[in-house]
């Protein structure tokens, strides 16, 4: 590759960079329009994120982030409204007096001073 070819390819690269910037700007506009349309659909009383997400090409979480009103009921229900059984409290065990007791582990080594002698 010579200097002339190098310079020409740099110019082509700059043009490509400019095209990418234009495409990114167009993408931002399209994504903004999609979010606006999702918000319009969310106003409908029977709208469901499960139906809108695939139509918009987004995940359910993305649609709910745009229109929180579309969050599934199971995610917005208060704890008193949920139908799931309460988690039972863990059993508290009392030590059996007849069971053999294991002694507590002793300290591994006594502390030492900087000279290496026991403290």
Q: Which two tokens stand for residue 30?
A: 């399209």
Per-residue model confidence (pLDDT) at position 74: 65
Would you tell me the crossing angle of helices 3-42 and 49-56 to the nearest 10 degrees? Answer: 160
CA distance 31 to 38: 11
Q: What is the pTM of this model?
A: 0.56
Q: Which residues pair with 118 in a beta bridge?
A: 112
* Neighbouring residues of 63: CB distance < 8 A, sequence distance ≥ 6: 38, 49, 52, 53, 56, 70
Per-residue model confidence (pLDDT) at position 57: 95
* Residue 1 half-sphere exposure toward CB, CA atoms < 13 A: 7
Per-residue model confidence (pLDDT) at position 110: 59
Per-residue model confidence (pLDDT) at position 17: 97
Per-residue model confidence (pLDDT) at position 39: 95
User: Mean pLDDT per segment of 10 residues, for the chain of length 119 residues?
Assistant: 94 97 98 96 93 95 94 64 52 56 56 60
In the numeric block, the tokens 């229900």 are attached to: 77
CA distance 32 to 26: 10
Q: Are 42 and 69 in contact (CB under 8 A)?
A: yes
């Amino acid at each position: 590759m010579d200097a002339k070819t190098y310079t020409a390819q740099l110019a082509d690269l700059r043009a490509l960079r400019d095209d990418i910037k234009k495409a990114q700007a167009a993408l931002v506009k399209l994504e903004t329009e999609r979010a606006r349309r999702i918000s319009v659909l969310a106003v409908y009383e029977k709208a469901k994120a499960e139906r809108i997400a695939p139509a918009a090409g987004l995940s359910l979480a993305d649609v709910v982030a745009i229109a929180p009103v579309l969050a599934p009921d199971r995610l917005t229900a208060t704890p008193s409204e949920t139908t799931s059984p309460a988690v039972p409290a863990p059993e508290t065990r009392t030590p059996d007096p007849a069971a053999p007791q294991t002694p507590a582990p002793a300290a591994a080594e006594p502390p030492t001073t900087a000279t290496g002698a026991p403290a």
